[in-house]
Amino acid sequence: MSFSNTAASIRATLKTPSLAIAIAIATAIVSQPLLAQEDVSAGDKAMNELAALDSHNEDIAALPSLPGLFERALRHDADLDRQRLELEAVQQEEPLARSQLLPQITASGGYLWQDSTNIQTQPDDFGLDQEATRPGEIDEQYWQVQLQQPLFSLERWRGMGRADAQVSAAEFDLALIERDLALKVSEAYVSAYLASRTLGLLEAQQESLELQVRQANRAYELGVGDRINLLEARSRFDQSIADTVEAENELDNALSELERLTGTRPVFEGHRLGNLNELVLQRNAGKLEDWLGRIPHNLDVQRAAAEREINDSDTNVRRSGYFPEVNLNLSYSDRVSDDQLRESEDYRANVEVSMPLFRGGYTVANVRQGELRTAASQKALDNQRNLAAQEIRQRLRSLDGNARRLEALGQAIESSELFLEAAERGEQLGLRDLVDVLDARASLYDQRIQFVDTLGRFVLDRLALESAVGDLESDDLVEVMDLLASITSRPSN
């Protein structure tokens, strides 16, 4: 499963398909949207009115495609484009290093005009009674072709290994940016999805409270209601408006983040929440030791290992300063001149050996510098491993905590539903007042919102955990899809 054509250039060690599954998992998160549960009122008439309100949204629009948004992000993100160009630039290190091992051929030529006065060109000026043996003024053309082939150069050979390590590190840099971009898009997408579900719950609550206010106001006008109940209902209604505005801002912020990342502003429409108590979570995420054993697949760890490889290769190149170099030189030159004594046609072949004997301590200091940088990069690698282990431990604890919280919230929601039903019946029989009903309803909506928010954190923790070990499998995708399908339902037609 591939998430972009760009990732195809990343080497097999980057595990691009794993990141693709991570994107697909996030898609599964949003492929089952949520909406408010059915509103509940204090009286039979209000319950019927709320049932009518719930039936107005029968046509549900499809959610935006998360892979589609990520494809847009791959084309839209300027930092990713910068890193692609940077990778292409670094890839030129390989042919640059290889060129130092191949023959170097140079051609040169020139034109010379010369007017000379000496004993050979002007013997009369020197008191000699003889003819000039060489012309005083000459025109001359010359050209030369020279080939140099390194026969032995340890520094140049080791330069190839350093170039390979640099390219590998640059590929990891690109993979890291793509991974981070995928997680950012997924997080923003899930945040927008959850915010839209929360907004739906709050809007449903607001509609319910609005009906409650009308009912309380009508009862008060007829002289059978309590003014305190009316004020309490209005207070709850005003608070629901404020909560709705806050939820709208959170949704707008999430959509703005998606727009920044992808260049487009998606529109979220949702499904209804089903029976939240049907949610079945896999409480056992596996042994900690098994997760820690997969740390070498972490991209940050692999990038740190690549940096250490660069420094190790560079140190080997520096050590090459202790070794001699052997070069083969071949050349051909031709000189045409008015002066026959200057005319020549030469063929030359020579083998040149050079051995550095003393460079003022430069080689020793250069090698020592490389060794220290290699040691520093090893410490950086150890640090990345520790950070990955810490991330795994934190995500596992968070997954377990969120799973237990979801289980507790599910039980609380079930109890709150029973309590709300009892409060409504009690209010109808005059055994309870409207405040008890409002409290019960507010508690139920709050627990539903907490449930949705906790589920979002659970899914994002799962994505982060798989990202921490650099591996996601198709079973994880099926598990998330089943998880969300168990609490999601479409409105009946």
Q: What is the pLDDT of residues 45-72, one digit of tens each?
A: 333 433 433 333 333 334 576 677 778 8
Q: Which residues of 66-94 are buried (b: 16+ CB within 10 A; e: fewer)?
A: bbebbbbbbebbeebeebbeebeebbebe
How confident is the model at residue 226, as a pLDDT? 64
More confident residue, 293 or 423: 293
How confident is the model at residue 235, as a pLDDT? 78
* Angle at CA of residue 200, ends 441 and 436, nearest 5°: 5
Cα distance between residue 467 and residue 25, in whole Å: 12
Name the band, by pLDDT with cuts 50, 70 and 90, for residue 199: confident
Cα distance between residue 448 and residue 87, in whole Å: 47
SS3 263: coil
How confident is the model at residue 219, as a pLDDT? 61
User: CB under 8 Å to 210, separation ≥6 — which residues?
Assistant: 237
Beta strands across the sheet bearing 137-153: 104-115, 137-153, 325-337, 344-354
How confident is the model at residue 98, as a pLDDT? 94
Can you give the pTM of this predicted structure? Answer: 0.72
Residue with tokens 């999601």: 488
The mean pLDDT value of the chain amounts to 77
Rounded to the nearest 5 percent, the helix, strand and coil shares of the chain are 65, 10, 25
What is the rounded average pLDDT of the residues 127-155? 86
Per-residue 3-state assignment (H helix, E strand, C coil) for 80-122: HHHHHHHHHHHHCHHHHHHHCCCCEEEEEEEEEEEECCCCCCC
Paired tokens of 65 = 């495609």
pLDDT at 182 over 70: yes
Residue 117 burial (10 A CB sphere; 0-12, 13-18, 19+): exposed
Q: Quick one: how far is CA 21 from the chain centroid? A: 14
User: CB under 8 Å to 372, separation ≥6 — which residues?
Assistant: none
With beta carbons less than 8 A apart as the criterion, state whether 192 and 34 touch. Answer: no
Cα distance between residue 361 and residue 354, in whole Å: 18
Q: How far is CA 191 from CA 177, 225, 256, 400, in A?
A: 21, 42, 11, 21
Name the band, by pLDDT with cuts 50, 70 and 90, for residue 19: very low
Helices 474-485 & 16-30 angle (0-180, nearest 10):
10
